[in-house]
Amino acid sequence: MCGRTSLFAPRAELESRFGAAVPEAYEPRYNIAPTDPVEVVTSDRPDTIQRFDWGFRPSWADPDDEGFINARAETAGDKPAFSDAWESRPCLVLSSGFYEWKETARGPKQPYRVYREDDPVFAMAGLWQRWEGDDRQRDTVTVLTTEPNDLVEPLHHRMAVVLPRDEESTWLTASPDERAELCRPYPNDDLDAYPISTAVNDPTNDSPGVIEPDESEQTGLGEFAG
């Protein structure tokens, strides 16, 4: 799954990378939790980076429902909650790296940062939904997940659908069947991961220190990746 993410690329780099205007409210964030706003690019407004609530709310959701932060890519098109969005509302969820927690022999789980080498931001495949209720309107989003690749498998049995850079535009414009083909374990070798401190466990810890390596643990997961 993907339950915590970050986005701290400079505004100018975001604009250049995605060819899209960045909202005034944008600020670097190192510890984005469910229900927080996340930056997205949608198929109907590809020239603008928008901010949606992380937690997909179907039309029938209650006002206090936190929504779905993840959806299984293999079944999203068949689920009533996501089927309409799967057909017509794909989006890119922008990230500088997401976090996963690895089981340890004893003690608390060890958090890891998963990021793309030599690229300050990448895109995860998402679906979005406009929810209306109690005189309020919210644009909400979920991150699609798939089987893990060799890098993420030691950390979790699912991973976010991370799109190769040359498939980002395709995700926004392709048919549902074509997009289904893109929902696979990340195929390239430019992702890496390293352990960080348990400070990330508290979403109120939102500073560059969150992504500092935990030197008490191994420095990366390269030994696991084939």
Q: Of the residues 39, 100, 168, 183, which is catalytic?
A: 100
- Phi then psi for residue 105, to 5 deg, are -60, -35
> Which 8-state DSSP code applies to residue 21?
B
Tally of residues, the chain: 226
pLDDT in the model for residue 58: 94
**Predicted confidence band at 223 (pLDDT cuts at 50, 70, 90)?**
very low
Q: What is the mean pLDDT of residues 192-199?
A: 96
pLDDT at 87 exceeding the cut of 80? yes
Q: Of the residues 2, 91, 168, 183, which is catalytic?
A: 2
Active site residue 87: no
pLDDT in the model for residue 221: 55
pLDDT at 70 exceeding the cut of 90? yes
pLDDT in the model for residue 133: 79
Q: Is 14 exposed, middle or buried (0-12, 13-18, 19+ CB in 10 A)?
A: buried
Active site residue 91: no
For residues 61 and 67, is the Cβ–Cβ distance under 8 A? Answer: yes
pLDDT at 132 exceeding the cut of 60? yes
Rounded to whole angstroms, the Cα distance separating 168 from 149 reads 19
Q: What is the mean pLDDT of residues 162-189?
A: 97
Rounded to whole angstroms, the Cα distance separating 143 from 1 reads 9
Q: Model-level pTM?
A: 0.93
Q: What is the mean pLDDT of residues 163-176?
A: 97
Per-residue pLDDT tens for 27-50?
Answer: 999 999 999 999 999 999 999 999
In percent, how much of the chain has pLDDT > 70?
Answer: 95
**Predicted confidence band at 197 (pLDDT cuts at 50, 70, 90)?**
very high
* H/E run at residue 53: strand 50-54
**More reliable by pLDDT, 32 or 224:** 32
Q: Which domains does the chain have, with CATH numbers?
A: 5-211 (3.90.1680.10)
